[in-house]
Amino acid sequence: MIRGDGRYSGGDGGRRNGPQVIGFLLIPDFGLLAYASAIEPLRAANTLSGRALYRWCHLSPDGGPVAASNGVTIAPDLLLQHAAAEVDALFVCAGGKRISFCDAATFDYLRRFGRLKRPLGGVAGGPYVLARAGLLRGYRFTLHWEYAPALAEEFPDLDLRRTLFEVDGDRLTCSGGTAPLDMMHAFLMREHGPDLAMMVSDWLLQTDIRESSRPQRMALCHRLGVRNQPTLKAVASMEEHIEAPVSRAALAARAGVSTRQLERLFRLHLGCTPSHYYRRLRLYQARLLVRQSGIPIVEVAVACGFASPSDFSRAYRQMFGRPPAAERAALTCGHVASCRRDVAPDQVGTKSG
């Protein structure tokens, strides 16, 4: 728990009278924008309060420098195994092509930290790492929308939300990008009250402080550049029914037009037929699952509405140039399936302790 004066108390009975030490565990390929959006409010809080409220440190899985997704490298200044002794709150930053990160030693350190009941958070793809370590069971949480389908398939019993950020007890998670600004606003307000939190947001030109429940993605009309309502209704229905695709007639009925009209509208506004758009949508969803999860290829096919694995493999190869099994084999990420077996039942954290 964080007291009103910003000092840690609870869990292990209170730790320090000086600045809060916030650790950032950087997983290779983490997003630099999301990381900066999480750490800069801490610097701003120190500057605007005129006090050293926070210090921060960087950690990495192997103790070596970590490259962000854009190539910028950050050197750690604390070994992960020392985090329990030195860090009051820990945020895991992950993303990019290494979202399937799997390292038993890192997961073990995270589980040890989780048992201390100090604030433990995930940024962008960071919550995926926490889920694989067994640290989100019993908590509501969120992560970047791109990783949500794979996580939902891999951990269907977890309480995944499609929100900007979530603060549930000692777990803080957010969806990446600029969403950490909103999460850290809530974090600062909980520690130091609304005045400092508002000053920090104003100083960082955060003119719109978003509630946690705000959606991650822009409205469908803006994403597609389409204003035609029947077309948008049909696409929304497609996005809601990936695993069990609805028929063209059902799509037209939900859009309030005939099947012939729906064909014409899709060609006019999206440059393809409804069937082609739907199939492409499902294949892009499948690619996320192939790249980001350890779900068997046959299950990926079913999750994306393909009744035949051979049809799925053929369509995937036509779209992306190689079959799904070859794409997965070419990835240099860790093997997620083995990660899940590393989490023993007695190591899975729950909110009730």
Domain boundaries, the chain: 20-216, 220-330
Residue 259 has pLDDT above 90, yes or no: yes
Residue 209 has pLDDT above 50, yes or no: yes
Reported in sequence order, the residue ranges of 34-153 that DSSP labels E, i.e. its strands, are: 54-59, 66-67, 73-74, 89-94, 120-124, 140-141
Instruction: Identify the band that residue 348 occupies on the pLDDT scale cut at 50, 70 and 90.
Output: very low
Instruction: Identify the band that residue 344 occupies on the pLDDT scale cut at 50, 70 and 90.
Output: very low
Question: Domain 20-216 in CATH: superfamily?
Answer: Class I glutamine amidotransferase (GATase) domain (3.40.50.880)
Averaged pLDDT, 189-208: 95
Lowest-confidence pick of 20-24, 96-100, 206-210? 96-100
Instruction: Identify the band that residue 12 occupies on the pLDDT scale cut at 50, 70 and 90.
Output: very low
Residue-wise pLDDT for 26-74, tens only, equals 999 999 999 999 999 999 999 999 999 999 999 999 999 999 999 999 9
More confident residue, 137 or 335: 137
Q: Quick one: 241 exposed, middle or buried, by C-beta within 10 A (0-12, 13-18, 19+)?
A: middle
What mean pLDDT is reported for the chain?
88
b/e burial code for range 84-94 (CB count within 10 A of at least 16 → b): eeebbbbbbbb
Averaged pLDDT, 153-165: 95
Considering the entire predicted model, what is its pTM?
0.82
Residue 353 has pLDDT above 90, yes or no: no
Residue 162 has pLDDT above 50, yes or no: yes
Question: Domain 220-330 in CATH: superfamily?
Answer: Homeodomain-like (1.10.10.60)
Instruction: Identify the band that residue 16 occupies on the pLDDT scale cut at 50, 70 and 90.
Output: low
Q: Quick one: 212 exposed, middle or buried, by C-beta within 10 A (0-12, 13-18, 19+)?
A: middle
Residue-wise pLDDT for 61-103, tens only, equals 999 999 999 999 999 999 998 888 999 999 999 998 667 788 9
Residue-wise pLDDT for 301-317, tens only, equals 999 999 899 999 999 99
Averaged pLDDT, 175-204: 96
Supply the pLDDT for residue 184. Answer: 97
Residue 273: phi and psi, rounded to 5, are -80, 160
Instruction: Identify the band that residue 8 occupies on the pLDDT scale cut at 50, 70 and 90.
Output: very low
Determine contact, residues 40/109, Cβ cutoff 8 Å: no
